[in-house]
């Protein structure tokens, strides 16, 4: 709703607004998938034996999770190239494509993560085959090796790579801001203070998004401790709260959304 107001008034969204809109949609879908998965696990565990349903939920969860990580990277790259103005060729190229082809970039990223996540549907079926064919040791060993290779590759492309790139952008932006503060600490210019506050908000946003991503990734290790109900409960709570916490981070990062939402509530009241 906030972005529709911006489109109606200005006709075009800024790169930050486009990424926030994409992250909002992904968070909404991820929250729905996690909630449905939790209700199925708590109320209708018989559905967990349905391979098609289990594979669909697994694929949807990891696609949304990987895409959210890459959206965090593109937001980090946008902030980094806008704030630091680095003259290296790679950062100039990133700044150009983010500014001019962001919509195409987000679509291609979603397509790539979908291609990476789809084999997870067959990975779930392979797990059920392993459980049903314990006597076929050789075939089970080959299947486990293939599943392990797929999970490592998918997690590297979908989670580790965007996390490392986002962390690099965070470090570069932090170092630039520290040097900037050191140079202008005695400057009384109001514009400098305003820009500095906006930069600090951007830096804080990336830090919290990476922190949430870290907790979400750590919560995925619950599969290695299936016999610990307490640990499973803690991990599941971390997962199901992550989209809502990310939404709160997005709201604190966007002055436009805060103004629009507050204006709507005040007008209705």
Average pLDDT over residues 173-183: 81
Decide if 265 is inside a domain: no
DSSP string for residues in 186-253: T---HHHHHHHHHHHHHHHHHHHHHHHHHHHHHHGGGGG-TT-HHHHHHHHHHHHHHHHHHHHHHHHH
* 252 or 133: which leads in pLDDT: 252
Q: Is residue 268 part of a domain?
A: no
Q: Give the pLDDT score at 45.
A: 67
Decide if 267 is inside a domain. Answer: no
Instruction: Say whether pLDDT at 155 is over 80.
Output: yes
CB neighbours of residue 106 within 10 Å:
19
User: What 3-state DSSP class applies to 269?
Assistant: coil
Segment 235-247 mean pLDDT: 86
In this prediction the pTM is 0.82
With 80 as the cut, is the pLDDT of residue 249 above it?
yes
**Percent of the chain residues past pLDDT 90, beyond the cut:** 18
What does the pLDDT average to over 36-65? 79
**Long-range contacts of the stretch 142-151 (C-beta < 8 A, 24+):** 147/123, 150/119, 150/120, 150/123, 151/123
Decide: 243 and 31 in contact? Cβ < 8 Å.
Answer: yes
pLDDT of 133 reads 47
Domain for residue 264, yes or no? no
Q: How confident is the model at residue 135 (pLDDT cuts 50, 70, 90)?
A: very low
What CATH number is given to the structural domain containing 114? 1.20.1070
The reply to whether 227 falls in a domain is yes
More confident residue, 5 or 169: 169
Once rounded to an integer, what is the mean pLDDT over residues 142-149? 61
The answer to whether the beta carbons of residues 103 and 18 sit under 8 Å apart is: yes
The verdict on residue 204 lying in a domain is yes
Question: Is 66's pLDDT higher than 80?
Answer: yes
Determine the pLDDT at residue 27: 92
pLDDT in tens, 193-231: 557 778 888 888 999 999 988 888 877 665 555 566 777
Average pLDDT over residues 7-34: 86
SS3 145: helix
Q: Domains in the chain: how many in total?
A: 1
What is the pLDDT at residue 69? 93
Which range marks the domain in which residue 36 is found? 2-258
Please say if the pLDDT value at position 83 is more than 80. Answer: yes
Handedness of CA 145, 146, 151, 156 (dihedral sign): positive
Residue 87 lies in a domain: yes
**Assigned domain for 146 exists:** yes
- Structure confidence by residue, pLDDT tens digits, 88-109: 777 778 888 888 888 899 999 9
């Amino acid at each position: 709703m906030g972005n529709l107001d911006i489109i109606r008034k200005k006709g075009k969204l800024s790169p930050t607004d486009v990424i926030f809109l994409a992250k909002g949609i992904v968070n909404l879908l991820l929250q729905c998938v996690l909630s449905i998965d939790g209700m199925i696990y708590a109320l209708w565990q018989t559905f967990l034996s349905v391979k098609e349903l289990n594979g669909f939920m697994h694929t949807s969860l990891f696609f949304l999770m990987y895409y959210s990580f890459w959206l965090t990277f593109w937001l980090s790259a946008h902030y980094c190239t806008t704030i630091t103005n680095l003259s290296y060729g790679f950062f100039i190229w990133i700044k150009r494509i983010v500014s001019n082809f962001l919509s195409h970039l987000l679509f291609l990223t979603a397509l790539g993560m979908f291609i990476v996540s789809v084999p997870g549907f067959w990975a779930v079926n392979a797990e059920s085959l392993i459980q049903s064919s314990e006597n076929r040791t050789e075939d089970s060993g080959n299947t486990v090796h293939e599943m392990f290779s797929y999970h490592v590759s998918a997690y590297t492309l979908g989670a580790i790579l965007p996390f490392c790139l986002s962390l690099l952008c965070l470090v570069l932006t932090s170092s630039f801001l520290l040097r900037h503060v050191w140079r202008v600490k005695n400057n009384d210019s109001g514009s400098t203070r305003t820009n500095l506050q906006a930069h600090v908000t951007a830096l804080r946003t990336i830090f919290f998004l990476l922190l949430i991503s870290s907790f979400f990734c750590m919560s995925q290790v619950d599969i290695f401790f299936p016999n610990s109900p307490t640990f499973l409960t803690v991990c599941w709570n971390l997962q199901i709260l992550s989209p809502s916490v990310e939404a709160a981070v997005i709201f604190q990062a966007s002055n436009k959304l805060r103004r629009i939402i507050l204006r709507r509530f005040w007008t209705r009241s």
